[in-house]
Amino acid sequence: MNRLKENTYPYRNEHIAVLLPAVLFTMALLTHAGTAIADKGDFSLYVDKSGNIRLPDDFRLSMTHLGSWFVPEGEASGFHDVYTEPETAKIYRKTGKFPDGATLVKELRSSTAGTYTTGNNVSHATGDVKQWFVMIKDTKARFPSNPVWGDGWGWALIKTDSSNRNVATNYRTECLPCHMPAKNTDWIYVEGYPTLSKPDR
């Protein structure tokens, strides 16, 4: 009996030594996923200490596409593609709320139309970007004296000449009026974002 125990302990220790790095690696991945929205020491990767908002880098690859709007004519004509972090979409599916630090990016792109096998006058986006809107969820009212922060969000309008400069100066007059119809859904037109809901099968 004792000899069996003596032979078993080294075997168990070997397995622990092999499994421990894998466990630690998995924990590191989970920790990274949880901090992708907001780092431990930072509220958001896209907001500085003064509340200035910048455009996330290469968001078309790093973020999840929520949905698109098509505006056929007018100054805002074209495709409006909306993105967020994968973690934000997962949390919203579970809670029905945008988590603190969540990022929403809306990219406005010009469109053109042509004849394809799918039909005539088929519209699609072009490479011409008009501008971006960026919103950062803030549940703690971190920037009470900053005029582009309020009603639970940071609000930014970013032009193509500088991805680090928010040209919006007052969210109440420049941003909020367009979002008034969506006040009951945290100012976001969630009905246009099917990714926030689990697909029906």
Residue pLDDT, tens place only, 49-60: 999 999 999 999
Please tell me the distance from the alpha carbon of residue 155 to that of residue 175, in angstroms, as a whole number.
7
Residue with tokens 């909306």: 82
What pLDDT shows up at residue 31? 41
- Rounded-to-integer distance, Cα 114 and Cα 101, Å: 40
Residue 14 is predicted with a pLDDT of 52
* Sequence-separated (6 or more) residues with CB below 8 Å from residue 126: 109, 110, 111, 112
* CB of 13 closer than 8 Å to CB of 116: no
Instruction: Note the pLDDT tens digit of each residue in 32-50.
Output: 444 445 543 479 999 999 9
Q: What is the mean pLDDT of the chain?
A: 87
Give the C-alpha separation, 108 to 143, whole Å.
Answer: 27
pLDDT band at 201 (very low <50, low <70, confident <90, very high): low
Q: Where are the domains of the chain?
A: 59-196
pLDDT digits (tens, 9 = 90+) for 89-117: 999 999 999 999 999 999 999 999 999 99
Question: For the domain 59-196, what is the CATH superfamily, name and number?
Answer: Cytochrome P460 (3.50.70.20)
Burial of 13 (0-12, 13-18, 19+ CB in 10 A): exposed
Residue 92, class by beta-carbon neighbours within 10 Å (0-12 exposed, 13-18 middle, 19+ buried)? buried
pTM of the model: 0.79
User: What share of the chain in percent tops pLDDT 90?
Assistant: 77
